[in-house]
Structures are given as structure tokens and as C-alpha cells.
Amino acid sequence: MHAPASAVLHDDTGEQGYGLLAAAVIVLTTVSSLLLSHVRMMWADEFLSYWGDKLPTATDVVRVQLHYPISLDPPLYHLLAHWSMRVFGANALGMRAPALLGVILSQVALFFLVRRLAGSRAAVLAAALPAVFGPFWYSAEGRPYGWLLGMYALAMLCWVLATSDAVDRSRTLPLVGLALSIAGAITCHYFGVLILLPLAAGELVRTVDRKRIDWLVAAVIVVGAASLALILPFQHALLAFKLHYYNRHVTSEAITLGYKNSVSQSALVTRIFLLVIAVVGVRRFLKRGPAESRGLWAMLLVLALMPLWCFLFERFVTHSMEGRYAIPASLAFVTVLALAFEAFLQRKTAFYGTLLAVVLLGLASIGVKVRREQLFRRDFMSDIALPPGVDLAGSRYIYINSFGNFLQDQYYAPPEIQSRLAYVYDAEEEIKYKGRDTHSISADNVRKYAPLQLIPYKAFLQDANPVFINYGVEDWEWLPQDLDAREIPVQPLGTLMLGRLEQANTHASGMAGPAMSR
């Protein structure tokens, strides 16, 4: 006798009423996300996509990603953001709607997945838990990560449904959903290809247990993986960034950052949680029922190790990684917790008490983020006027040397300031002081299609006593260092947009010669 092939554990007949409760929870967290998005100002990474995604046509968007990218992703999310901005406007909501849709999809998929595995009460808890974890933040960020979360969750659900032994259930829809979700992950982010690892692990263990290959499921996974061919042409434009990219030297600390992004920014909370999830996961695995597929647990284990796979993918393939690329690991944590609490939740008081605690914890977490963003917005908007007594009549530009600050300031500044803002860049200086040329290449690319003022450093030095904003962003700003090295005196003028407004006396006695010697 061989092990059963099905991943389905629970008969959810008669428990459909809990769907309304799950819907209410999802609506509540969605409204909370919209509130967070409303108060949160768009930041640098979102603006890397903004100017390309708001172009008039989808063809323009694809052209930018093919030839002049500054957001180094495959085209899918950029197209989704483009179409969303056509509906909601070229604003934060338009940029972020696809990410929010992805997070909502992850909650819905988790509900149906866990309902099949552990019943409706555990499923409602699974729908609520994402709001507690760090990745929920990306529902209010116009980047691919929220969408990526949705694709992973949908793939998990479709794989479980497609491998069910239920004779009265057609596999057509789950198999189509599996192929589309794999393609949706791969074509929205280069690390999306790692979605194949948990699916392949689950299917491999299932094949061993069944002692035969499910050729249809295997073929669908291959079809989804074939979407890699769609993104290969977009990698050529990334070569310009490769030599001096800003995070080429990633260490094993990236694994820790991956887990922090998947759980909590608190290292202590993350460590405690990972210990708890390991203990309850092992206990729940040992108590699994006779109808429960080991393939399911293989999939969850490999998914939980996503930060490790991201690090290895960075080390041997991409040579670049951020911790947020690993956030799909949170889906394994949510699923394991819901499965582990299945028996406990059978008591009505335990179920409603746990659900209330989870919802309140999620709302509190979102509330803290909302308050933090409100304070930042208040401080920023209170510092958007020139300091008293400062007259820029003789200055054409207000220069900025931090690309992220420039993009944000250019969007939010009042018109009289906005028209003066200019980003000053120089690849040689950026490499000299920071060991990278990421922002210089980005400036050269974005000038092809965005109406932004991007000024080479030599023009800055030729300006008569140029005015600039010093943000003190040591990782990116090299201008203050170079002015100091050239012994060009700098005069403070006050603050502007939370940076120090300063004037460089480039034409001071004895200074013009060295400054122009380049």
C-alpha cells in the first residue's frame, strides 16, 4: 500500500458560513491598508517605477523596461501599475493598487487553502494572520512584492486542489490557475522563479509516495516555468548596472534580513517566532492524519526556507538581493500556524478569542505604521518653504545629490520649488566615493523619458555659487565629500524638505581653478 496522493485533509461541508466572517476580516484589513496608503508618501523605490509606468501606452512601458530601466524588474508589475494608473490616476493609489490586490488575493487563497486542510475556523484565522506579519506593509507600496505574495499563495492553493483525490472535482481550473500563478510570479520579479522550488519539492515527494508521476501536474509546472522566456530579453538592459551595482556584496546576513522582512523588523521577535513555528510545525507534522500528503509539508518546509534560497540565488546567479524578496516565506508560517491551531479552535470561545486577538494585533501594527507615516508627512510638509531671508534669485537650480530624495522631493514640492530641483550626478565621482554608479546610470536612463532636471556634476561646478540640499545620506551622497576634498567652502542657509540647504562658494578666491581642473 502506498501513501495517499491527496493533500486534502478536511471536509468543509456545512461550514460555508465562516466565509462571511473571513470576508469581513479581509475587508477590515483592506480598509486599514488603504488608510496606510493614504497617509504614506511614495518613496524612492516607488518613484523608480513611477515615471516609466505612467507613460501613455503599455508599449512605452515595455520599451522602458527593455532599454532604459531604473526599476530592475520584469515588466508585469509595471504593466499592471500602468493600467491601474489609467483607472485611478497617476498617484499613490494607482501605483499601489496591484500590490494591494496581490495581498488580498493571498488572504483569500490562504482561506480556501486552509479550509481544505483544517476546516473553516482555522481558515478564518489564516485570512486574518497576514495583517500581523511584516509583508502586509507591501500592500501599501507600489512595488512587485505584494503581487508576488498573491501569486505564491494562489499557486499553493491551486497545487493542493489539483492534487486532490476528490473524484467529483475537475482539475481544469486549478491547473490553469497553477500555470498562471507561476507565470505571474516569474514575470513580475526576477526572484519570482523561486516559486518553482516549493512546488517542485511538494510534487517530488508526492510522486515518491504515489510511486508514479502525475504527468499533467508536472506539465503544468513546466508550462508556467516556460514564462522565463518572456523575461529573458529584459535582462540585457541590466548589464549596465552589473559592474558597480549598489548591493553586489551581499553576505549571509541577507538570510536574517529575509526572515525579518517575513515576520517582524524586530530581530528578537523574529527569532522567538521562528523557534515557536519550528516546534509547532514539527509537532503538527508528526500528528498528521492518514489522508494528509507528505508533499504538502515538503512544500511548506521549502517555502519556509525562502530566505536561504534567495541568498543562494543571489550568490550564484543574480549577485544582488534584498531581504524583501523572501517575504513569501510568511505564507508557510501562516499555514503552519493555522494547521497547528486546528484542534484548539474547535472550541467556540477559543476560536473567537484567538481571532479577536489576531485582528487587534494586526490593526495595532498597522496603526503604528499609520502614525509613523503621519508624523513623517507632517514634518516634510512643514519644511517645504525656503528658509526666511533666503533669496535664490541668482540661482537657477536647487541641486540634490541623493537620487531617492530628489525623486520624492520633485513630486511633493510646491511648484515654485519643484521647478528648481535638479539631480546632480557623475559616474566617476559616485564610484570614487561610494564604489557604485547605480544612480548615475539611473539618471542617464530616466532622462530618456521623464521631464526631470538631471545635471552633470561639471555643470554644477560651473554654476556661480550653487545651492544644494545635503540630506546626510552617507550611503548615497558624495557631493559634500567632493566639495570638502576640493576645499570649496559651504555656507548653511537653513533647512528644506528635511535636508540642510547649503550654498557652495565655487567661485571663491582661489577655488575656481581647482574646481575646474577636471
Question: What is the tens place of the pLDDT at every residue in 79-122?
Answer: 999 999 999 999 999 999 999 999 999 999 999 999 999 999 99
What percent of the chain has a predicted confidence (pLDDT) above 90? 84
Q: What is the pTM of this model?
A: 0.93
pLDDT the model gives residue 508:
61
- Written as nine digits, the cell of 425 is 550626478
Task: Tell me the pairing of strands 490-496 and 499-504.
Answer: antiparallel
Contact indicator for 105, 154 with CB cutoff of 8 Å: yes
**Arithmetic mean of pLDDT, 419-429:** 96
| Torsion sign, CA atoms 439, 440, 442, 443 | positive
- Written as nine digits, the cell of 415 is 511648484
Sheet with 490-496: strands ordered across: 454-456, 421-425, 398-400, 467-470, 499-504, 490-496
**Arithmetic mean of pLDDT, 404-417:** 95
- Average model confidence (pLDDT) across the chain: 92
In this structure, how many other beta carbons lie within 10 angstroms of the beta carbon of residue 27?
A: 11
pLDDT the model gives residue 353:
97
6 has a pLDDT exceeding 70: no
pLDDT the model gives residue 515:
38
pLDDT the model gives residue 168:
58
List, for residues 435-488, the tens digit of each pLDDT value: 999 999 999 999 999 999 999 999 999 998 899 999 999 889 999 999 999 999
**Arithmetic mean of pLDDT, 273-285:** 95
Contact indicator for 488, 505 with CB cutoff of 8 Å: yes
pLDDT the model gives residue 510:
45
Partners of 153 in the beta sheet?
none
Cα(278)–Cα(126) distance, rounded to whole angstroms? 17
Q: In which element (H, E) is residue 502 found?
A: strand 499-504
List, for residues 367-400, the tens digit of each pLDDT value: 999 999 999 999 999 999 999 988 887 788 999 9
What are the distances in angstroms from CA 248 to CA 242, 321, 456? 8, 8, 25
- Written as nine digits, the cell of 478 is 558624495
What percent of the chain has a predicted confidence (pLDDT) above 70? 94
Cα(214)–Cα(162) distance, rounded to whole angstroms? 10
pLDDT the model gives residue 427:
96
- Written as nine digits, the cell of 388 is 526666511
Contact indicator for 464, 394 with CB cutoff of 8 Å: yes
